[in-house]
Amino acid sequence: PVQVALPESYDLSTGKPIRKCLFFPDRVESTPNHPEAGKETLKTIEVFLKYLDSTRVSLDICVFAITDDRITRRILDAHQHRGVRVRIVTDDEQSKSQGADVVELRAAGVPVVMDRSASDHMHHKFAVLDGKVLMNGSFNWTKHASEANCENVMITNDRHFVEEFSGCFNQLWKQFGGA
């Protein structure tokens, strides 16, 4: 088997509190990105991507839109090269829009389920990483959101919030037909 080098990552299992807020549009982050990270000079999107790169077990994504190819590449890398169990819950109407990456992700074998409503939307924007870290906020996973919109993502390993959002994900996964 081909050995793939792991990307730079954060320790999602740290016993120290993770309390990071990302504010877009993209800028250089000035506060610590992780309790065990040294001094880093990373842009907002780079911190977001580094957290995705940190998954080793599971990545449960519940988002309205995925059109940013940088994010899609990270999801595919986790699924194809690191053996991470990736599952995606998304909006059916948004998945048909120009630039939507859900079809590519599904074609690559990533399990994807969608709501089945023409009038209502699956509008959540969160991810649970390795069952230990929650990323949640207004941020749509689009390039425009990271470069132009006023958006936010809160990153925490607070067990209460991780469990609440994991429960929400699992309920939607079953509701929309996930196996």
- Distance between alpha carbon 176 and the CA centroid of its chain, in Å? 19
Q: Pick the catalytic residue: 125, 143, 158, 160? A: 125
Q: Pick the catalytic residue: 130, 158, 160, 174? A: 130
Q: Pick the catalytic residue: 123, 132, 144, 174? A: 123
Smallest CA-to-CA distance from 39 within 30, 47, 48 is with 30
Q: Verify whether residue 123 is a known catalytic residue.
A: yes
Phi, psi of 129 (to 5 degrees): -105, 120
**How far is it, in rounded angstroms, from Cα 91 to Cα 122?**
5
**How far is it, in rounded angstroms, from Cα 68 to Cα 166?**
24
Q: Verify whether residue 69 is a known catalytic residue.
A: no
User: Is the separation of the CB atoms in 50 and 42 below 8 Å?
Assistant: yes
Q: Verify whether residue 124 is a known catalytic residue.
A: no
DSSP alpha helix (H) spans, the chain: 44-53, 69-81, 102-107, 143-147, 159-175
Q: Which positions are catalytic? A: 123, 125, 130
